[in-house]
Amino acid sequence: MGAHIMPLGDPNRHFWITRSIARAMDINLSDAMSTNRLTPSDYATMVTRCRMCPHVERCLQWLGESGGAAQAAPEFCANADWLNGLARD
C-alpha cells in the first residue's frame, strides 16, 4: 500500500484562521513577534500546522461561537498549546 498524501490547505485561508483564533483569545501575533515571544519561523510553523489540520470546519464554527472572548484555544486546534502559552505570557 502507498502512503496517502493530503494536500495542505490554502495558505491565505489558514493564515487568517490562525490570526483569528489568536485574536479571539486577545492575542496579537504581531505584538508577540515584536516582543520576541514568537519568532517569524514559529509563526510560519503555526500557519503550516493549521494548513495540515483536519478540523478547519470545527475551528470556523468555534470562531463563530466564541464571540472574541475565548479564555483558551479549542482543544482540537493544532496550535492550542502554542496559543495557550502565548495567552499565559
DSSP character string of 25-74: TT--HHHHHHTTSS-HHHHHHHHHHHHH-S-HHHHHHHHHHHTT--SS--
Query: Which is more confidently placed, 74 or 7?
Result: 74
pLDDT tops 90 at residue 84: yes
Q: 1: pLDDT confidence band, cut at 50, 70 and 90? A: low
The fraction of the chain above a pLDDT of 90, given in percent, is 83
Rounded to two decimals, the pTM is 0.88
Nine-digit cell at 71?
Answer: 479564555
Sorting pLDDT into bands at 50, 70 and 90, what band is 68? confident
